[in-house]
Amino acid sequence: MMRLPAFKYLAPHSVAETVLMLSSEGPGATVVAGGTDLYPNMKRRHQVPKTVVSLRRVADLRGTHAGADGSLRIGASTTLMALERDARLKAERPALWAAVRSISTPVLRTMGTIGGNVLLDTRCNYYDQNLEWRRAINNCLKCEGDTCWTAPGSDRCWAVNSSDSVPVLIALGARARLSSPRGHREVPVESLYRDDGISYLTKDHDEVLTELVLPPVGPWKSHYGKLRRRGTFDFPVLGVATALRFDGDRVAEARIVLNGVGSSPLRCTEAEGFLLGKRIDPETAKAAGEIAFRPAKPLDNTDFENAWRKKMVKVYVRDGLLAAK
Amino acid sequence: MSPHGNAAGKPAAQKRAKKVTLTLRVNGEDHEVLFAPHKTLLEVLREEMGLTGTKHGCELGECGTCTVVVDGEPMLSCLMLAVECDGREITTVEGLSTAKGPHPLQEAFADLNAAQCGYCTPGFLCASKALLDRNPSPTREQIRDDLAGNLCRCTGYAKIFEAVERAAAVMRGEPVPPPPGNEDLGGAAPAQGEVTRGA
């Protein structure tokens, strides 16, 4: 039986109490919301926190608040299922709704939270294994080893960002609110990530993600496409969020964001620039896919063959642009 | 402490994990249970309360066999701390039947042979119960969708989906055909709508 390692359990009632606990417990403490990412990691001994600070009793972090201006604030502990059942989210931000609904399985969406998905640990075939398996390969760079088995000549970890909600949140221009003993700050979701499989977040250990703030949808149109082996359960091996704003029938602004092809979400700025002033037709969408495909660097550390995954970037960007039109 | 309790290399916290006493409401009854705070609901149900109907499978959230119903929603007991379950209504497979007999889902699973090795069945029953309590008339697509987190390696799922549809019909008070196999019993065929066990 895979059991959790023992830890000190703390259950604060407010964000202020949470950040104080995290701060006083030090880097050996971690936050848990739904537990669907942390607990499997702890059972596999990827993470063995001394203290687990649970957000379950922090009521302020749950629920959505629609602003009069059309903006939307989503509490970080809102479950993915609560968002899936939110008819207004489905109507107003269908790409985010579709991304949320594509995460894992219904039972895990019932438990897992949007904040947990945003801060999801990076994934890799050499890392997401049990302790005995990892010991048999002398561990990997991300956990107790000194070699990245995905790229043994490399001095960095190439574990993959696999969060479905993140590309869409970035494409929709969402911002993240963080609290710490030093106060609050609000940053673009995009800036939460670092291109490093180990140190993949820019957040401090005593900072808590409290809220996601989405600007009014306005004229933006968006789409999320996800490549995976099964129609459920699986993490994305490629996710493509596309968002377009038009001036007449010409693109005034475009955002294309990929996951599953790097340690951080990948913004396809060159392809975005290419689309400006153009009409979205099959030929333009195809050409944008060809450009977006270039910086994507899928490595051999998730499901499917990596060269094929790279090729699929062209297809998913093309289809995503046509669907967002 | 057992002689193994102090094994070298065990984290210090493991040795002195202080137990807590909590009242858990399971299958309609309050139980006072003593356990360490890092224990999952699955461990407490099985090991402290003797409710071994809930099975442990992958224990990582990938198979659904440990599914129980918590406050009307299906949840994976392997990924929940029991210490977070106070004040919540927990239903395990042991709590599905009533004094009147098995739950219509249990009847339907038996009638249609929706269980083969049976290991995933408690999880499917609990996930299906949560579904039917929320949506008494799910379509086949909704059933497939809702049970997507539960794996079965024997049946190929068709019988399970049929059993959930049959149970839903029974729960709505609609007549259902006699279960297959009963025609060979030689006795009178059961009346339409009568729920009977399979042969």
For A172-195, the pLDDT digits (tens) are: 999 999 999 999 999 999 999 999
For residues B87 and B113, membership in a common domain is answered with no
Name every residue whose Cβ is closer than 8 Å to that of residue A316 and which is 6 or more positions away in sequence.
A225, A227, A238, A240, A289
**Which CATH number characterizes residue B149's domain?**
1.10.150.120
For residues B150 and B175, membership in a common domain is answered with yes
Q: Kindly state the tokens that stand for A2.
A: 């895979």
For residues B122 and B80, membership in a common domain is answered with no
Q: Which of B59, B76, B94 is the last residue of a domain?
A: B94
pLDDT at A203 over 50: yes
For residues B80 and B114, membership in a common domain is answered with no
Question: How many CB atoms within 10 Å of residue A15?
Answer: 20
Question: Total structural domains in chain B?
Answer: 2
pLDDT at B197 over 70: no
Structural domain contains residue B172: yes
| Contact (CB, 8 A) for A176 and A187 | yes
For residues B74 and B140, membership in a common domain is answered with no
pLDDT at A61 over 70: yes
Residue closest to A112 by CA, chosen among A39, A168, A47: A39
For residues B35 and B89, membership in a common domain is answered with yes
Q: Is A318 part of the contact surface with chain B (CB cutoff 8 Å)?
A: no
Burial A234-249 (b: 16+ CB within 10 A, else e): bbbbbbbbbbbebeee
**Which CATH number characterizes residue B30's domain?**
3.10.20.30
pLDDT at B15 over 80: no
State the pLDDT at residue A44.
96
Structural domain contains residue B4: no
Q: Is A91 part of the contact surface with chain B (CB cutoff 8 Å)?
A: no
For residues B88 and B109, membership in a common domain is answered with no
- Model confidence at B199, in pLDDT bands (50, 70, 90)? very low
Residue A107 has its nearest CB partner, among B17, B36, B127, at B127
Residue B151 CA to residue B138 CA, distance in Å, equals: 19
State the pLDDT at residue B180.
87
Q: Is the dihedral of CA A45, B62, A85, A319 positive or negative?
A: positive
Give the domain extent around B118: 104-179
Alpha carbon of residue B18 to chain centroid: 30
| Contact (CB, 8 A) for B50 and A25 | no
Structural domain contains residue B14: no
State the pLDDT at residue B181.
78
Tell me chain B's radius of gyration from C-alpha atoms: 19
State the pLDDT at residue A121.
97
For A81-97, the pLDDT digits (tens) are: 999 999 999 999 999 99
- Adjacent-strand bridge partners of A178: A185, A209
User: Could you give the C-alpha distances from B116 to A88, A123, A284, B97, B120, in angstroms and in order?
Assistant: 42, 34, 53, 20, 9
Q: Is A54 part of the contact surface with chain B (CB cutoff 8 Å)?
A: yes
To the nearest whole angstrom, how far is the Cα of A35 from the nearest Cα of chain B?
6
Map residue A40 onto helix, strand or coil: helix
Residue A121 CA to residue B53 CA, distance in Å, equals: 32
Higher pLDDT, B4 or A322: A322
Q: Kindly state the tokens that stand for B124.
A: 């499917």
Q: Is B13 part of the contact surface with chain A (CB cutoff 8 Å)?
A: yes
B-contacting residues of A 14-43, CB under 8 Å?
A: 35-36, 39-40, 43
Structural domain contains residue B58: yes
For residues B89 and B120, membership in a common domain is answered with no
pLDDT at A287 over 80: yes
DSSP code string of B150-194? ---SSS-SHHHHHHHHHHHHHHTT---PPPTTGGGG-SPPPPTT-
Average pLDDT, chain B: 88
Q: Kindly state the tokens that stand for B102.
A: 């098995």
For residues B64 and B114, membership in a common domain is answered with no
- Model confidence at A1, in pLDDT bands (50, 70, 90)? confident
Q: Is the dihedral of CA B80, B82, B88, B92 positive or negative?
A: positive
A vs B, Cβ pairs < 8 A, gives 86
Residue B143 CA to residue B149 CA, distance in Å, equals: 11
State the pLDDT at residue B45.
98
Structural domain contains residue B174: yes
For B18-76, the pLDDT digits (tens) are: 899 999 999 999 999 999 999 999 999 999 999 999 999 999 999 999 999 999 999 99
Structural domain contains residue B120: yes
| Contact (CB, 8 A) for A81 and B146 | no
Question: How many CB atoms within 10 Å of residue B24?
Answer: 23
Structural domain contains residue B193: no
Higher pLDDT, B7 or A4: A4
pLDDT at B183 over 60: no
For A100-123, the pLDDT digits (tens) are: 999 999 999 999 999 999 999 999
pLDDT at B158 over 60: yes
| Contact (CB, 8 A) for A17 and A57 | no
Structural domain contains residue B7: no
For residues B77 and B120, membership in a common domain is answered with no
Average pLDDT, chain A: 97
For residues B109 and B158, membership in a common domain is answered with yes
Residue A108 has its nearest CB partner, among B36, B56, B61, at B61
State the pLDDT at residue B9.
42
Instruction: Provide, as residue numbers in chain B, all residues whose Cβ is less than 8 Å from the Cβ of A39.
Output: 40, 61, 79
For residue B137, the one-letter residue type is S
For residues B31 and B68, membership in a common domain is answered with yes
